[in-house]
Structure 1
């Protein structure tokens, strides 16, 4: 009965493993690398698409700012009939007769000076468009980091699942040997029960690890905007020793990141945009000068020719033409405290942005310093874990030989086996931590997680 239960649970775990890593197409068979996942997520993510639309909207705002330098042109037209007492346009005298009146006009207004408000607004829109582009890049890096973290989490869970399978297989081998020893009278039934209990626990842990793989896979698919039915398999990492890389220096990496990370450029643009916003608010105290030109004409049915007929419309429009050319100056004197408070608020916002930028620089330096320290620590931890695994492997083999000869108890054997599995798990953890921190350090140096290669189809 015990063996039947174990067989059923092994079959269930095998089904979960096949569900997780089986492939239904060429992409899944070859496997996805972390770079493939990041590039795919950047192209499929809707937040990034919205960020790109924000950049295009900022471009339209910039076009509108250029349009502020063009003259404003408008035309007017009116047609109506005057009734009652009104001024006769022909004689400029009051009349009680009703008459038809039609006027047309053209107005042209060109701003000459407005306290450099238009210039500052144009520069402000330029900075906003550049800032939108950087915001798009920052969003891409944030999504790529989330995908990278989920990718390595899935890889770690798959490693833990394989270790659980290996641990269960060892327990099955010990269980089979223990059955033979009990039949031969070399071991007590209590030892057999202990091995059975350990085997049952290992089967349970294998199921738990398989479920963890499934949840990690679903989390990665969500970041890739894949459906649950879509097939996805990732490439396993190479089980080799880490290269002897020079330890990165935090100060040098921070200096490189100042020219590569979009966050630093975004901080600079935010401060410059705030200064332009302050200049726009200060421009409200300056006079405004406009050049104006207008052209008007009209048609009236009161205008008669020598024969008593109404003068034709074409002739009236020509005869009644009037023009205006002039310059208007507007000087703001007093409008409450709105302009003054507007300038003060922009100054306060500028100080806020400067404080936020300084705080962000401190935070980025701490993140870079932590990434460098973690990378160096992961290299050393991986070396120690590798030595620990070698020692644990030798100790496990020796313990198995002693157990087969009856020199140690099953408890001691299981303890050595657990140490061996823990050593392999620690080796996998340090290896994945090294890869994660290595990519993070490279990101601070280059300013991007995603390479320029085309997305895999």
Structure 2
């Protein structure tokens, strides 16, 4: 009995935990944090960053000498060359040789040094690309998040309007029966009810599409259900004023989207210097150590000299240098330098274009922030007026003083105003967070 009681308590606790989990609401910051951790494109950007780090580390190691060693062993049969005397012999014999060598580039037109700088800038560019991809993902999630919130709230407004229209259909049917309303009023009310039913269906479809976009960005399974914490209860106190030219100068100093192109430009300049290395001669130094054991190496008694003695006596060393001077290579180096210069000019243009795009993007977002605040204030006042007007019109319609067209003109205006209040409020919340980002605050990293 005690065991059964413990098992029952365990099931109750498990069910309660599942209910708490199911009822948990995801905030915007939690959605963004989950997306950053699980998004596949961001994971790919992280792998590219690690790959660039490996390439940069390899370039520094390229300055060191290359060292290699080898061992050869063989058994010769029949007519062959004696490796000890280089003479022709017809007997079988065993030979064994050892090799140790090293080489280093002394000068290659500073190609290796420029390659280190080039890959360093590429590494920093990959890091900026990951940070920029993270920022883009955060805004993608935020856009999808607010899109879901907007359409879900809009559906509530639409359902309320549809419920009101359904009530008016029943009222009008009674009024038509009693002769207080014409049949045309009933048809008009029913037509508006069907129109609002269609709008509810369209809004539900938009909700489904918005959820797909959000789950894709978060890398959530399509069938996994979550609930969002709707940030619509915050009060807009006053408009946000910002010095956009100054904010732009401040933002481009740390913006990954700009630093990305700056590092690409610096890397392209280093690549030009790398290409010029082909005009210069190259100098390298080599050194080698060889020894071996040969069964044909015999003493005066025609006995094969022992292994240790041969390894010691057959030693040979080599030290040398090589010089390679380019004379004519079909102008391949010259054209490579030209291509590198043109690529560098393209990088410069891309940087200027990125700055220009960012400048107008910041101006547009600030303009939309200011406009949404003004619209919210005016829409709020209009909502109060439209609400009073609708209540008055509904009473007049019930008393037969106005027809259905006049009633629904006022009713539709109220619905549009309500949705406008919602739209301007959510737009303000989005643009406010974007402006905080321009100031250097990644809002999704802050505690809510």
**TM-score, length of structure 2 as denominator length:** 0.89
- CA shift in 2, pair 1:453/1:246, >3 Å: closer
**Partner secondary structure for residue 336 of structure 1:** coil
1:31 aligns with 2:35: no
Q: Residue 443 of structure 1: CA displacement?
A: 2.3
Q: Is 1:387 paired with 2:381?
A: yes
Q: Which residue of 2 aligns with 1:20?
A: none
Work out which of the residue numbers 260, 266, 289 in structure 2 matches 1:266: 260
- Of 356, 361, 369, which residue of structure 2 is paired with 1:367? 361
Offset at residue 293 of structure 1 (A): 1.8
1:89 maps to which of 61, 84, 101: 84
Q: How many residues matched?
A: 430
CA deviation after TM superposition for structure 1 residue 108, in Å: 1.3
Stretch of structure 1 that moved more, 54-63 or 183-192: 183-192
Q: Is the 8 A contact 1:72 1:108 kept in 2?
A: yes
**How much has 1:377 moved relative to structure 2?**
1.0
Q: What 5-or-longer segments of structure 2 have no aligned partner?
A: 1-16
CA distance in 1, matches of 2:83, 2:320: 28
**CA 1:447 to 1:125, structure 2 compared with 1: closer, same or farther past 3 Å?**
farther
Question: Which among 124, 128, 152 is matched to residue 158 of structure 1?
Answer: 152
Give the match's secondary structure for 2:106: strand
Question: Are 1:145 and 2:148 counterparts?
Answer: no
Offset at 1:96? Answer: 4.2
Q: Which shows bigger deviation, 188-197 or 412-421?
A: 188-197
SS of 2:68's partner is: strand
Q: Measure the CA separation in 1 of the matches of 2:109 and 2:398.
A: 95
State the partner residue of 1:108.
102
Partner of 1:328, secondary structure, is strand
- 1:6-60 Cα shifts (integer Å, max 9, x gaps): xxxxxxxxxxxxxxxxx97535523222222222112111111111111111111
In structure 2, the residue corresponding to 1:283 is in which secondary structure?
helix
Partner of 1:224: 218
Alignment of 1:313-324 (within 5 A): 313-324=307-318
**Structure 1 residues 56-455: aligned runs within 5 Å:** 56-80=50-74, 81=76, 84=79, 86=81, 89-90=84-85, 94-98=87-91, 99-239=93-233, 241-446=235-440, 448=442, 450-451=444-445
Shift in Å, 1:221? 1.7
Kindly tell me: are residues 435 and 254 of structure 1, through their superposed partners in 2, closer, same or farther at Cα, counting changes over 3 Å?
same
Change (3 A) 1:207 1:302: closer
Quick one: distance in 2 between partners of 1:28 and 1:382? 34
**CA deviation after TM superposition for structure 1 residue 70, in Å:** 1.7
TM-score by length of 1: 0.87
| Partners of 1:38 and 1:144 within 8 A in 2 | yes
State the 1:192 CA deviation: 2.9
Counterparts of 2:428 and 2:260 in 1: how far apart (Å)? 29
In the alignment, structure 1 segments of 5+ residues that lack a partner are 1-22
For 1:241 and 1:105, the matched residues in 2 are separated by 81
Indicate conservation of the 8 Å contact 2:232/2:426, yes or no: no
Cα distance, 1:353 vs. partner?
A: 0.9
Shift of 1:154: 1.2
Distance 1:405 1:375 in 2: 44
Secondary structure in 1 matching 2:137: helix
Distance 2:198 2:295 in 1: 102
Q: How far apart are the structure 2 equivalents of 1:209 and 1:350?
A: 49
User: SS of 2:102's equivalent?
Assistant: strand
Q: Distance in 1 between matches of 2:37 and 2:73?
A: 57
Alignment CA distance shift 1:52-1:240 (3 Å): closer
